[in-house]
Amino acid sequence: MSDFFSPFWTFFISVGTLGGIAWMVYLLIVNSKTKSPANGESVQSTGHEWDGIEELNNPLPFWWVAMFYITIFFGVIYLILFPGLGVAKGALGWSSSEAHSQEVAKANQKYEPLYEKYAALSIPELAENEAAKRTGGRLFATYCSTCHGSDARGARGFPNLTDHDWLYGGSADQIKTTLLTGRQGNMPAWQTSLGDEGVNDVTSYVLNLSGREAPAEEIIAGEKIFTSMCAACHQADGTGMQALGAPNLTDDIWLYGASRGHIQKTIAEGRKGIMPAHEELLGEKKVHILAAYVYSLSQN
Ligand code: HEC
Ligand code: HEC
């Protein structure tokens, strides 16, 4: 894929590069006209003089001019062979992404026997295997830490993977399914249907579910709303439903922030957290090792 969105940039880069080279050649030729003085003659002055120091018009040293021409020659050959002028591919057809996929293929070939060996073990067995966990940790650092943090403790909107609180379930199979197919949370927005007061009341009820303080009359009003609007996904007792990724609201662990303001915002505006699918990107065997690594994080 090309990074150039418009043909203008190819034109701009090509003209700049080739024009620059042509300009260098021109300067070299013009400045090579000065000849060395014949025997007996003295070097001519350019006529510039500062405090008695005169600028002499000596020819450019041969070695220096030669190096310059070699550099230009190298540059031109390089531009013919490799991609250097906008979208031009270069005679060798080399591309950095091609080189990268070749390296990946080589690495996959090298590690294939190892992945093969791990694929034969169950996830709980692998989670006990120190070498497999180290491999999993490296894969995690590469593919998962951008979102879940290098310590897997997550951040707002990105779940902590080291605790016992699971949106989609913490069994070996559930974790593996999460990684393979991805997950998409769907918490609807309630501002329009409940209005300010309704959102406020049900927020108080949700806070109360996890043992936090809220005005009693709001809790009572909020409970009615919760039973009719929220229980379908979060269950009547608020403990959530893993099949839908609806979080447990009674444990005082908050994916989207623990303050009343954050919780109210979630209820008013809704949330749609996306865990991307990794089956195509990584293949089943790497996911198997990663699942074991994640599984191991919340054991003991
Ligand atoms: C682009 C960001 C992103 C990347 C990359 C990512 N995740 Fe996630 N992951 C999320 C989000 C967001 C959620 C929560 C989805 C939701 O809110 O429903 C999630 C959820 C999960 C869950 C479910 C947690 C639970 O409580 O059930 C697991 C397990 C998980 N990720 C593991 C991984 C692993 C392992 C990787 C690397 C292969 C990874 N994730 C890569 C964003 C990401
Ligand atoms: C269609 C199912 C569904 C309904 C109905 C629903 N929720 Fe949710 N809720 C979810 C899902 C799924 C999430 C997680 C979203 C995500 O992971 O991005 C969530 C997240 C939340 C959160 C954030 C929890 C956290 O850890 O930060 C709160 C609070 C919440 N819901 C409250 C409510 C309330 C109150 C109602 C009723 C007014 C309600 N939900 C109705 C599915 C639902």
- Going by C-alpha positions, the residue among 21, 2, 7, 6 that lies closest to residue 80 is 21
Please report which ligand is nearest the Cα atom of 232. 2
Identify whether the C-beta of residue 295 lies closer than 8 Å to the C-beta of residue 140: no
What is the Cα–Cα distance from 135 to 253, expressed in whole angstroms?
30
Please report which ligand is nearest the Cα atom of 222. 2
Instruction: Domains for the chain: give ranges and CATH numbers.
Output: 1-32+55-92 (no CATH), 108-185+276-297 (1.10.760.10), 191-272 (1.10.760.10)
Indicate the average pLDDT of the chain: 93
So what's the pLDDT on residue 54?
86
Using alpha carbons, list the distances in angstroms from residue 20 to 10, 16, 73, 194, 259.
15, 6, 13, 66, 60
pLDDT tens digits along 210-249:
999 999 999 999 999 999 999 999 999 999 999 999 999 9
The answer, yes or no, to whether any atom of ligand 2 lies below 6 A from the CB of 229, is yes
So what's the pLDDT on residue 152?
96
So what's the pLDDT on residue 86?
84
Which token pair is 113?
Answer: 């026997």
Nearest Cα residue to atom 22 of ligand 1: 178
What is the Cα–Cα distance from 265 to 256, expressed in whole angstroms?
9
pLDDT tens digits along 5-30:
788 988 999 999 999 999 999 999 99
So what's the pLDDT on residue 171?
96
What is the Cα–Cα distance from 111 to 283, expressed in whole angstroms?
13
CA of 242 to the centre of ligand 1 (A): 14
- Please state the pTM of the whole predicted model: 0.77
pLDDT tens digits along 51-99:
989 888 888 888 999 999 999 999 999 999 999 888 888 889 898 989 9
- Going by C-alpha positions, the residue among 274, 250, 272, 256 that lies closest to residue 189 is 272
pLDDT tens digits along 142-192:
999 999 999 999 999 999 999 999 999 999 999 999 999 999 999 999 999
CA of 244 to the centre of ligand 1 (A): 15
Nearest Cα residue to atom 9 of ligand 1: 275
What is the Cα–Cα distance from 98 to 76, expressed in whole angstroms?
23
Which token pair is 232?
Answer: 């379908």
CA of 210 to the centre of ligand 1 (A): 24
Does pLDDT of 35 surpass 80? no
33 compared with 173, residue with greater pLDDT? 173
**What single letter denotes the amino acid at residue 142?**
T
Nearest Cα residue to atom 16 of ligand 1: 273
Q: How confident is residue 37, by pLDDT bands cut at 50, 70 and 90? A: confident
Which token pair is 137?
Answer: 């940790």
**What single letter denotes the amino acid at residue 82?**
F
Please report which ligand is nearest the Cα atom of 149. 1
What is the Cα–Cα distance from 176 to 128, expressed in whole angstroms?
17
- Going by C-alpha positions, the residue among 102, 109, 162 that lies closest to residue 293 is 162
The answer, yes or no, to whether any atom of ligand 2 lies below 6 A from the CB of 231, is no
- How much of the chain exceeds pLDDT 70, in percent? 98
So what's the pLDDT on residue 40?
73
So what's the pLDDT on residue 300?
66
Report the Cα–Cα distance between both ends of the chain, in Å, rounded: 46
Q: Atom of ligand 2 at shortest distance to CA of 190?
A: 38
The answer, yes or no, to whether any atom of ligand 1 lies below 6 A from the CB of 180, is no
What is the Cα–Cα distance from 267 to 246, expressed in whole angstroms?
13
Pick left, alpha or beta for residue 39 (phi over 0 → left; psi -120 to 50 → alpha; otherwise beta): beta
Mean pLDDT across 103-125: 92
What is the Cα–Cα distance from 298 to 84, expressed in whole angstroms?
50
Q: Atom of ligand 1 at shortest distance to CA of 272?
A: 17
Measure CA 258 to chain center: 27
Q: How confident is residue 3, by pLDDT bands cut at 50, 70 and 90? A: low
Please report which ligand is nearest the Cα atom of 274. 1
Identify whether the C-beta of residue 172 lies closer than 8 Å to the C-beta of residue 291: yes
So what's the pLDDT on residue 32?
86
Report the alpha-carbon angle 231-168-170, nearest 5: 125
Q: What residues contact residue 273 under an 8 Å CB cut-off, 6+ apart?
A: 157, 158, 183, 184, 185, 245, 255
Q: What residues contact residue 297 under an 8 Å CB cut-off, 6+ apart?
A: 152, 161, 162
Nearest Cα residue to atom 39 of ligand 1: 144
So what's the pLDDT on residue 5?
75
Q: How confident is residue 135, by pLDDT bands cut at 50, 70 and 90? A: very high
Measure CA 275 to chain center: 14
